[in-house]
A and B are shown apart, each in its own frame.
Chain A
Amino acid sequence: MKTESNTNICNESVFNSVFKSNSKTVFNFIYYKFGNEEKANDAVQEAFVKLWENCAKVTPEKAKSFLYTVANNLYLNVLKAEKVRLKYADKSLKSTNESPEFIMEGNEFKEKLENALNALPENQRTTFLLNRIDGKKYAEIAEMEGVSVKAIEKRIHLALKSLREKIDGI
């Protein structure tokens, strides 16, 4: 059983651990939506300031959805989506001894993928990337976005579908 001081977000060490385990995802969440790093950083600060101010009212279980709601509301209808730019973690792809044609094709494919991702509706892109990059389960994303798991599955399905259509040039 946890003691009162361990479960209260007003406790600084509890708050810091909440910060460390959630700030990166809050950042990504906003970045996938709007493609703006600066605003994503601001959103992290704003969301956690709000959480700190309301630490007595928000239970640790509610802290996550509180953070995403605050971050989401911050730029709702305010910020225009910019292009989301993503890097590739696996640099070894480029250093293989594949033929120049294949590498060229690979680079072409990446560009197509990036364009296709940016063409997705904001909620599909965010959901898809949270799953692919951050490894979030459908249920977790559903909690962040405040929708059902089924709605998340729908978004993933539609996102994959339109990505393929864009890339295959249908």
Chain B
Amino acid sequence: MQENHLAKWLNNELSEEELIVFRQSEEYKSYQKIVAATDNLKSPDFNVDKALLDFQSRTKATEPKVIAMRPYKKFFKVAAAIALLLAASYFYVNTLGQNITTQFAENKEITLPDNSEIVLNADSNISYDEKNWNQKRNINLDGEAFFKVAKGEKFTVATDNGSVTVLGTQFNVENRAGYFEVSCYEGLVSVIYDGKETKLPAGNSFLAINGKITNLDAIKNGHPSWIDKESTFKSIPLKYVLDEFERQHNITVKTQDINLDQLFTGTFSNTDINLALQSISVPSQLKIKLEGTKVLFYAENMP
């Protein structure tokens, strides 16, 4: 009988002779009974579909690869936000460029990169891009300034009331609330106000008060009076005269029973406050009361 003959018999691998011998053995019946019984055996129930569902819910719940990527995603999000913020603030700061401001009772002289000069009157602000100045001569003005522009590319003064464009000249721009005045002293300037362009030759002034446009004269080859520490007015409503007085003398003006629309023509000193007060009050027939940093204007015929 060959090796492992029981296994061979179970697998139907025994030869005829071997089979005859084996069948005659006394154990044969027992083996037959065992094999017959084990043919009927069953393993415990196993639900393949349920096991597969369990498996799928398990692998979906963990998803190891996706979790591993998430921290990086978050990091990149934050990094991108920071980079964007830095870039944006860099460009914003760059566009701001130079920024020059004067306080009350203060004048400043500024020389631009192309040797153009700006004299900034009190309570005014200009900003411009110093880096790209030679490509683009752009000035943002809030307040009043006198410009001596060197010859070159287009020179633009932008204000919230209108813009002034020149090539090379001397001119003054005053831009206050409701008040926009441009005086040309040399050359030719182009004033764009309310979408309309006005050519202003030397010796002319452009004035707009609350949208009402007036053309005035200016001194040829001169300069605005405030450069000589004086403020000069010609038929200007008293309101704007007093505003200017406040700015030049750093003082608070109060009025009582006064018609602020009455026109004023004259000059006041920007250095001597008492002289300036008289210069305003006498021709306008007003009374004044000076108390520290406050001054009260009131009508003369008041009781």
Contacts and interface: CB of A to CB of B under 8 A. Distances in A.
Interface of A: 16, 19-20, 23-24, 27-28, 31-32, 37, 40-41, 44-45, 48-49, 52-53, 85-90, 93, 109-110, 113, 128-129, 131-134, 138, 150, 152-157, 160-161, 163-164, 167-168
A138 B34 CA distance: 19
Closest 8 interchain pairs by CB?
Answer: A156-B7, A153-B7, A157-B4, A132-B38, A153-B4, A160-B6, A157-B6, A89-B42
B46 A28 contact: yes
Given A23-B52, A49-B59, A154 B41 contact: no
Which of B34, B42, B52, B64 has the most CB atoms of chain A within a 10 A radius of its CB? B34
A87 B59 contact: no
Contact of A86 (B27, B41, B48, B59): B41
B37 A110 contact: yes
B210 interface: no
Interface in B118-159: none
Interface in B23-48: 27, 30-31, 33-35, 37-44, 46, 48
Contacts of B48: 19-20, 23-24
Interface string B190-218: 00000000000000000000000000000
B1 to A, nearest CB: 11
B51 interface: yes
B10 interface: yes
A16 B31 CA distance: 40
A26 to B, nearest CB: 9
B30 A168 contact: yes
B71 to A, nearest CB: 20
| Chain B interface category by residue count | 20 to 34
B34 A113 contact: yes
Contacts of A87: 41-42, 44
A150 B52 CA distance: 35
B228 interface: no
A109 B7 contact: no
A41 to B, nearest CB: 7
A24 B46 CA distance: 6
A167 B51 CA distance: 37
Nearest to B52: A19
B8 A132 contact: no
Nearest to A114: B41
Contacts of B41: 86-89, 129, 132-133
A119 to B, nearest CB: 14
Interface string B46-59: 10100110110011
B279 to A, nearest CB: 94
A164 B27 contact: yes
Given A109-B33, A160-B6, A164-B34, A86 B42 contact: yes
A49 B7 CA distance: 35
Nearest to A160: B6
B5 interface: yes
Contact of A133 (B27, B35, B42): B42
Contacts of B39: 132
A164 B31 contact: yes
A101 B263 CA distance: 138
B272 to A, nearest CB: 92
A24 B50 CA distance: 11
B6 A161 contact: yes
B52 A20 contact: yes
B301 interface: no
A164 B30 contact: yes
A109 B59 contact: no
Contact of A157 (B7, B30, B55): B7
B256 interface: no
Contacts of A31: 43-44
Given A48-B55, A49-B58, A164-B34, A156 B40 contact: no
Nearest to B46: A27
